[in-house]
Amino acid sequence: MGVDLMEQGPDGAPLPGASPPQGPPGGSTSGGASTLRRNLASLATSQVITWVLALVWTLVVPRTLGPADMGLMVIALSLTSLVAVAFSFLTRDFLVREMVREPDGARRLISNALLTRLFVVPLLFLASFLYGSVAGLDGRAMTVMYLMAGAAACLMLMEPALAGFQATERMQYIAFADVGNKSLNTLGAVLLALGGLGVVAIASFTLAVALGVLLATLFWLHRMLPLGVRPANVASAMRRGRSYWFVGVFYVGYLWADGFMLGVMAPEEVVGWYGAATRLFTTMMFVATIVATASLPRMVAAHAHSDDQLYAVARQPFEWVAIMGLPIGVGLASIAGGLVPLLYGQEYIESVVPLALLGLAIPFMYVNIIVAQVCIAAGRPRVIGWLLAATSLVNIVANLALIPFTQDHWGNGAIGAAAGLLLAEVAQMTLGLVLVGRRLLTISTMARICGASLAAAGMALAIWLAQDVPLIVQIPLGAVVFLALIVVLKVPTPPERAFVVATLRRLARLPVRPARRRS
């Protein structure tokens, strides 16, 4: 949200049933737990850096712009994201799956994706014009709309390159693009905000950074995989990818519909409150994003052998996100009352309740992300597509009812938008587990998730009892209580503990010394 556009074997042995991913054209992939650990470390390192940058951005930019201008940027991003996905027929998930299965066709697929997306760019500006005309936006607001449409176009053209890096397990390039985008955006936005240059200058800088990162990713991609200038079989690729496009449309539709609908039914200031809450909410999606990004190529490769192998490989990331989503989501909801005024100031105090509701949605969304990746890896995009269609319907109906109700009763339609998203996530998880849960939810898995749920409840109780102390005490207290409880309840397995230690050593670049043998 805001101006950030980069936010769409534990024990050293091979993962159960996994085979090494197919190598990229012109290179090779080692496979195994070492590759997984390296990719997770690259993505996690970039996330730590971008977290710090997001904190700096949050402390300065929203306070300077105010809720109304924040709301304008949220509306612009919601609209252009919806249009971009609606006409991006060759989606990132489709590209990743096809390139893992048929590495020799990667060059043609990426060229096709870039070509089709180039024709969509004018539609982003047309949609901005039509919305501005209907909403009666002034010249300043329309300038912001057009600038953000240009930034969204750069992101849309960047996705085929990111798909190439993901399919070949070159996650470091995804990390470079993410860190570069957020570093430059944070630095520029903070300086422009402190200089009093306003939302137009920040939107202009966002477009400039998006263009620069786009050129960098295309350059890296061309060095790894030289692109052809005459794409072939575009119509065939679009036919094969239409089910994945169906998924993408409904996913982004329900994810961004609340911000778009809120912009129609409530003042821009209310959209700004919701934008502040959703920025913190989307920042917390890092665990599911990292695990899903690193796991998808492996799940695709496993499915090439059998369905049983796919679910054997998918069970581990499923358990990881289901367990880790609980403390993150419950913790965010527990500290929302102190976090919002600390980061944004009293001007955004109405963001507290929406943020708490969005925090409660995080555990459900984490599970939904992995379930969707399993369906994509299994070549069943229509299943997840219909699931997302049903979820979108729930979200739209809930927003139509809850936004006006909360706006009329409490002057804060953002509460209704957040509640609608929470209901949609619960509905999607319920339906998703009905479809694939019997293959993922073993007795051991359910026992571990129940243990993590009890630990998250204990963490929330500890934070509530310490509500009168500063956040700097509440947060580590909650973390210590959760970690202690999951150890007592035996939630982590020995291989997972070993994997965490090995990954932390890699992040810290500590040498791993072999144990000395006793004489």
Q: DSSP per residue over 296-312, as a string? A: HHHHHHHHTT-HHHHHH
Cα(162)–Cα(46) distance, rounded to whole angstroms?
15
| Token output for 118 | 């180039």
- Which pLDDT belongs to residue 303? 87
> What is the rounded distance in angstroms from the CA atom of residue 62 to the CA atom of residue 345?
9
CA–CA separation, 171 vs 177, rounded Å?
10
Global pTM value: 0.67
C-alpha to C-alpha distance for 278 and 354, rounded to whole angstroms: 8
- Tell me phi and psi for residue 230, to 5 degrees: -125, 80
Q: What is the pLDDT along the chain (519 residues), one digit of tens a residue?
A: 333 433 433 222 222 223 333 333 333 333 455 555 565 555 666 666 766 777 677 777 787 888 888 788 777 877 777 787 777 777 777 788 788 877 777 778 888 888 888 888 898 899 889 888 887 888 888 998 899 889 988 988 888 888 888 887 777 787 778 777 878 888 888 888 888 888 899 889 989 999 999 998 888 888 877 765 555 566 766 777 666 676 666 666 666 677 778 877 888 789 889 988 887 888 788 788 788 877 888 888 888 888 888 888 899 899 999 999 999 999 999 999 999 998 888 888 999 999 999 999 999 999 998 988 888 888 787 787 788 888 888 888 999 999 999 999 999 999 999 999 999 999 999 988 888 777 888 899 999 999 999 999 999 999 999 988 999 999 999 999 999 999 999 998 888 777 777 766 765 664 444 444 443
Percentages of the chain per state (helix, strand, coil), in multiples of 5: 80, 0, 20
Which distant-in-sequence residues (6+ apart) come within 8 Å of 130 by Cβ?
none
Rounded Cα distance between 241 and 99, Å, is 13
Among 436, 249, 475, 245, residue whose Cα is nearest residue 342: 475
C-beta pairs of 33-40 under 8 Å, 24+ apart in sequence: 33/9, 33/499, 35/169, 36/9, 36/294, 36/298, 37/499, 37/502, 37/503, 37/506, 38/171, 38/506, 39/169, 39/171, 39/293, 39/294, 40/290, 40/291, 40/294, 40/503
Task: Give the burial string for 77-96 (b: 16+ CB within 10 Å, else e).
Answer: bbbbbbbbbbbbbbbbbbbb
- What's the pLDDT at 9? 31
